[in-house]
Amino acid sequence: MLLRCTGYGAEELDEKVDAIFQELHIYEELSPGMTVVLKPNLVMTSKPEEAIITHPALVAAVGKCVQRAGAKVLIAESPGGPYTPMTMKAAFRGCGYTDMAEACGFSLYTDCESREVPLPGGVRCRRMAIVSPFLGADYLIDLAKLKTHSMVGFSGAVKNMFGAVPGLKKPELHCRFPEKPEFSEMLLDLCDFLQPDLCITDGIWAMEGNGPTGGTRRDLGVLAASKSPYAVDVCCAKLAGLEAGQVLMLRYAAERGLVPQSIDGLELLGDSLESLSVPDFQKAEASSTDFIDRLPRFLRPAAKKLATPYPRIEKKSCVGCGKCAESCPQNTIEIKDHKAEIDYRRCIRCFCCHEMCPKHVIEIRRLRLFNV
């Protein structure tokens, strides 16, 4: 279901979210006594107007609908970096969630407990640590942000579930699955395991360019909802100018039979895709490596290495906070004389450092030769 939503005013949001709950029969699935876990995207502490996080006003509107059905609201998330009660309280406060939750009577999860669990249906990954509330949720609502993503191309409902993995366990997964295809399959395994009951993606202020944290806000004015994270992502990727086949995790989701191969196979409710589409939505900086398959086999590894974008620190603006080093799965960043430095020999180009830099001074570069 796609809806035009012009801003984050409470009246408009309440009306649109209520329409989603009615149209998708969500009220009938909720009952008094249930605890509904809301999973926003709070990848890093930032102000809602930067379009990095799910806007707290949307979370408030969704939580109020949940309360209307008599259920309780628990907001849970694990951003990048260490996952402790102190860091989590600071993240909620810095993102404007503490005041919102107090005003609405929602609980914020700050105990930071997690458990290692098997993923019985996992194709690529069959075991991982998950933050506790996601394991025992009566009902799970995935509240993603519509953004581009430097590593996997697009960040929406499927990618948002990666926040169910506790803080520093995320870099471990980057290490286990350093290549985009394996990483995308792992994301699908995780999403398939958690199976959110409802997904609402915040595309009111979306992010284009080098998302998920270093891009530019683009005011799309869209709310997208579905009971399927794959279907909502196919629609949102299309709004971001990407066909499902261009985003590996969505291509694999179609191959696994989780979503139709193309948007034409989906039943769309609400406003039409055409009426909500915008021209020239900027993609994340990524190399087209298709041409590599046409090179002689012995040249491919070197060509791939050259063609893959790499992180570059703007030393002048680096404040030496160490957030990049903390998030680097390869421990290949050192702080020397209050400036971060990357040892590229061990860099797997996962862009966790780019994602976590609060000053946005880690650029994504590629050689001009491949800048096509």
Name the site residues for ligand SF4 (rule: CB under 6 A): 311, 313, 318-324, 328-330, 332-333, 340, 342, 347-353, 357, 359, 361-362
CB of 148 to ligand SF4, least distance (A): 17
How big is the chain by its Cα radius of gyration, in Å? 20
The set of residues, in sequence order, having a beta carbon less than 8 Å from that of 86 and lying 6+ positions away, is none
- Compare residues 53 and 361 and give the one whose CB is closer to ligand SF4: 361
Report the distance separating Cα 290 and Cα 213, nearest Å: 26
- Compare residues 57 and 362 and give the one whose CB is closer to ligand SF4: 362
- Compare residues 161 and 357 and give the one whose CB is closer to ligand SF4: 357
Q: Coil, strand, or helix at residue 305?
A: helix
- Compare residues 75 and 328 and give the one whose CB is closer to ligand SF4: 328
CB of 351 to ligand SF4, least distance (A): 5
Query: Tell me, what amino acid is at 67?
Result: Q
Report the distance separating Cα 165 and Cα 131, nearest Å: 6
- Compare residues 5 and 91 and give the one whose CB is closer to ligand SF4: 91
Strand ranges inside the chain, DSSP E: 2-4, 35-40, 72-75, 107-108, 114-118, 127-131, 139-143, 145-149, 153-155, 198-208, 216-226, 310-313, 333-336, 339-342, 362-365
Which helix (H) or strand (E) segment is 84 a member of? none
CB of 269 to ligand SF4, least distance (A): 40
CB of 91 to ligand SF4, least distance (A): 16
CB of 171 to ligand SF4, least distance (A): 8
- Compare residues 118 and 322 and give the one whose CB is closer to ligand SF4: 322
CB of 214 to ligand SF4, least distance (A): 10
- C-alpha dist (Å) from residue 317 to 50, 143, 313, 314, 361: 19, 33, 9, 6, 6
Which one, of 285, 113, 105, 267, lies nearest residue 212 by Cα?
A: 285
- Compare residues 76 and 356 and give the one whose CB is closer to ligand SF4: 356
CB of 311 to ligand SF4, least distance (A): 5
